[in-house]
Copies of this chain bind each other. A is one copy, B any other.
């Protein structure tokens, strides 16, 4: 992510919210995490389909970042054609309260803005 790095949290007062956003705040990361939370295990192509308009480049990039942060696990099957599965790590699952609160509020907000 560009818009948030851990270093930038160092203001006069620290903001742990930024830390969280530096991990889940990528353009497609919420969607990826949401899907993996609801589906347990997904292949690259399945994720791509579910996310709709994401490009391969972006999907790969965001998945790599999540993997680097220890949020997801990437399992490669040595087959032809290749097969790669993604799932949340235990650490990644610790995000679920965060994601659920965000989804809650987001659902409400969506109703608020569409019903006026």
**Residues on A close to B: CB < 8 A?**
3-4, 6, 8-13, 15-21, 23, 25-27, 30-31, 33-35, 49-53, 91, 94-95, 97-99, 101-110, 112-113
> Which residues of B sit under 8 angstroms from A10, Cβ to Cβ?
52
Known A-B contacts A10-B52, A33-B17; the reply to A105 vs B95 at CB < 8 A is yes
How many chain copies? 2
| A11-B52, A50-B13 known; A20 vs B103 contact (CB < 8 Å) | yes
- What are the nearest 6 A-B pairs in CB distance? A11-B52, A16-B106, A19-B106, A17-B30, A20-B106, A20-B102
Known contacts A11-B51, A21-B30, A51-B11; is A102 also within 8 Å of B16 by CB?
Answer: yes
Contact pick for A21, options B25, B52, B113, CB 8 Å: B25
Q: Are B105 and A97 in contact (CB under 8 A)?
A: yes
Task: For residue A44, give the distance in angstroms from its CB to the closest CB of chain B.
Answer: 16
Does A106 contact B35, Cβ atoms closer than 8 Å? no
A15–B30 touching, CB < 8 Å: yes
- A–B pairs, 8, beta carbons within 8 Å: A15-B31, A16-B102, A20-B109, A21-B102, A94-B105, A97-B101, A98-B101, A98-B104
